């Protein structure tokens, strides 16, 4: 069966682009480059605090309670404050350098490129829906060599709401000229990607790399290599 009229929408970070590895590599570089080792005992302690602060702030951003520019710097400001470092120049140096360097990292989730090739060969039309910053998501796709796989790329900033808001899915379907009955969303965030898509009328696959996570949700995969078979079944 050819799937040329079937559409698969992907989340980017942690679904295709290995956010954790790429972020950590960028932070390690900045920790050395900006000589944070003179102020903070170890990178591991810095990284642990940063991840906690960043996660909390991203939740606020995703809900619309925090502006992008605030998030960009506050994640570093609050991390440095934890170590009693109050240097605004350093906060801005970290914030600007991180946004400039991290999207140029190219680590992908295991099997991502192979699976995208397989899906294209099967005839699926592929798209991206991401809550990430618009100025970095296109760079990630380009630097990692993923851009040619996707017919459309939609960043939430373009319409002013984040997943799981229905408007972003409706807009994505409109731009892609896709119907809900022939469309599938794949993502790692159950609330934003899976529930958001289902509420908008799409089918959804939850990519949860940890097989220990328990869930009654049927369409859950632990490895991207499982996706072509699941997509073929759901979009038959």
**Does residue 137 form part of some domain?**
yes
What CATH number is given to the structural domain containing 182? 3.40.50.1000
Q: Could you tell me if 58 and 79 lie in one domain?
A: yes
**Same domain, yes or no: 131 and 84:** no
Residue pair 165/196 in contact (Cβ under 8 Å)? The answer is yes
Instruction: Mark whether 55 and 114 lie in a shared domain.
Output: no
Span 61-81, pLDDT tens digits: 888 888 888 999 999 999 999
* pLDDT band at residue 2 using 50, 70 and 90 as cut-offs: confident
What is the overall mean pLDDT for the chain? 95
Check: CB of residue 119 under 8 Å from CB of residue 131.
no
Report yes or no on 1 lying in a domain.
no
Summarised one tens digit per residue, pLDDT across range 132-165 is 888 899 999 999 999 999 999 999 989 989 999 9
What is the distance between the alpha carbons of residues 48 and 50, in angstroms, rounded to a whole number? 6
For residue 2, tell me if it sits in a domain.
no
Residues 155 and 139 in one domain: yes
Concatenated DSSP letters for 136-198? HHHHHHHHTT-GGGEEEEEEGGGTT--TTSHHHHHHHHHHHT--GGGEEEEES-IIIIIIHHH
Nearest to 184 by CA among 207, 165, 213, 216: 207
Does position 28 have pLDDT exceeding 70, yes or no? yes
**Is residue 87 over pLDDT 70?**
yes
CATH code of the domain in which 77 resides: 1.10.150.240
**What is the DSSP track for 77-103?**
HHHHHHTT---HHHHHHHHHHHHHHGG
Greater model confidence, 184 or 2: 184
Distance of CA 31 to the CA centre of its chain: 23
The pLDDT score that the predictor gives to residue 216 is 87
212 or 94, higher pLDDT = 94
Q: Which residues lie closer than 8 Å to 73 by C-beta, 6 or more apart?
A: 91, 92, 95
88-101 vs 68-82: helix axis angle to the nearest 10? Answer: 120
Predicted confidence at residue 132, as pLDDT, reads 85
pLDDT at 220 over 90: yes
pLDDT band for position 19 (50/70/90)?
very high
What global pTM score does this model have? 0.93
SS3 132: coil
pLDDT tens string 97-112: 999 999 999 999 999 9
Please count the structural domains in the chain.
2
Residues 31 and 77 in one domain: yes
Mean pLDDT within 53-63: 91
- Segments forming the whole domain that contains residue 23: 19-104
Residue 180 half-sphere exposure toward CB, CA atoms < 13 A: 12
pLDDT > 70: percent of the chain: 100
Residue 172 domain flag: yes
């Amino acid at each position: 069966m050819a799937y040329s009229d079937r559409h698969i929408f992907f989340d980017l970070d942690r679904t295709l682009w290995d956010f954790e590895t790429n972020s950590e590599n960028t932070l390690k570089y900045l920790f050395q480059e900006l000589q944070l080792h003179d102020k903070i005992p170890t990178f591991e302690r810095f990284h642990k605090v940063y991840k906690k602060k960043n996660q909390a702030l991203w939740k606020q951003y995703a809900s619309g309670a925090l502006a992008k520019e605030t998030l960009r710097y506050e994640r570093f400001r609050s991390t440095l404050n934890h170590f009693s470092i109050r240097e605004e120049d350093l906060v801005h140096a970290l914030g600007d350098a991180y946004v400039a360097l991290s999207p140029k990292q190219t680590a992908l989730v295991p099997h991502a490129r192979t699976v995208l090739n397989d899906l294209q060969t099967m005839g699926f039309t592929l798209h991206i829906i991401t809550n990430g910053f618009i100025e970095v998501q296109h760079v990630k796709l380009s630097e990692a060599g993923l851009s040619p796989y996707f017919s459309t790329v939609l960043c939430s900033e373009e319409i002013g709401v984040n997943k799981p808001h229905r408007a972003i899915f409706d807009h994505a379907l409109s731009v892609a000229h896709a119907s809900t009955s022939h469309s599938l969303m794949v993502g790692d965030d159950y609330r934003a990607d899976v529930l958001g898509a289902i509420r908008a009328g799409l089918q959804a696959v939850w990519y949860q790399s940890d097989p220990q996570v328990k869930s009654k949700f049927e369409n859950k995969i632990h490895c991207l290599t499982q996706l072509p078979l699941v997509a073929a079944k759901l979009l038959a």
